[in-house]
């Protein structure tokens, strides 16, 4: 029991240091405060993640043009606190992908014709159903990660924005 409490406190402390919980520091939300090209101060500001959801899914090709990289799904840290944070981030992304995959399978099963590949626009309209009560709500990711639709492979992926991390480090 005590070990679980220690793990929980350690995970929360780590999440706070990684920007997974709201920061107590103040920063402006305009891009004038940013010294990293293409990144606004708001994008580099940690956002609440625990218990929060999103319906924001980027187009993967556009995300790559904006400086994104595919997020690693490996847990490589040697630090016990970092292992927990990496496991949480990768699990959240995988669970979101599983929900989307299930919704796509249901869509395809209901289709009388051969299901056609989903473009980003069709994916958002038929699977995510943004701003609709029956839409998919994905778990919120840290400020430097976003969900993206990989049209070529027809799956939801998580991308990192390294420039957001760099800007956050400059703000500290």
| Single pTM value for the model | 0.71
Of 147, 149, 16, give the one whose Cα is nearest residue 93. Answer: 147
Contact between residue 55 and residue 154 where contact means Cβ atoms under 8 Å apart: no
Joined tokens for residue 171? 């703000």
41: three-class secondary structure by DSSP: coil
Q: What is the pLDDT of residue 81?
A: 81
Q: What is the pLDDT of residue 9?
A: 41
| Exposure on the CB side of residue 156, measured as CA atoms within 13 A | 27
Domain that holds residue 114: 2-171
What contacts 67, CB < 8 A, 6 or more positions away?
A: 38, 161, 162, 163
> What does pLDDT average to over the chain?
77
Better-predicted residue by pLDDT, 114 or 59? 59
Give one DSSP letter per residue of 118-160, joined into a string.
PPHHHHIIIII-TTSTTS--EEPPPTTEEEEEETTTTEEEEEE
Q: What is the mean pLDDT of residues 2-25?
A: 43
Give one DSSP letter per residue of 42-86, joined into a string.
TTTS----TT-EE--EEEHHHHHHTT-EEPP------SHHHHHHH
How many domains, the chain? 1
């Amino acid at each position: 029991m005590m070990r679980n409490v220690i793990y929980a406190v350690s995970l929360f402390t780590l999440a706070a240091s990684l920007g997974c919980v709201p920061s107590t520091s103040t920063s402006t939300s305009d891009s004038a405060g940013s010294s990293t090209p293409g990144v606004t101060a708001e994008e580099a500001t940690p956002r609440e993640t625990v218990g929060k959801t999103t319906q924001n899914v980027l187009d993967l090709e556009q995300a790559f043009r904006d400086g994104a990289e595919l997020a690693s799904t490996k847990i490589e840290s040697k630090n016990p606190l970092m292992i927990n944070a990496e496991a949480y981030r990768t699990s959240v992304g995988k669970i979101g992908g599983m929900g989307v995959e299930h919704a796509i399978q249901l869509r395809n099963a209901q289709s009388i014709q051969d299901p056609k590949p989903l473009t980003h626009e069709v994916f958002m309209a038929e699977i995510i159903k943004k701003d609709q009560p029956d839409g998919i709500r994905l778990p919120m990711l840290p400020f430097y990660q976003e969900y993206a639709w990989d049209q070529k492979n027809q799956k939801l992926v998580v991308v990192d924005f390294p420039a957001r991390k760099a800007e956050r480090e400059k703000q500290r």
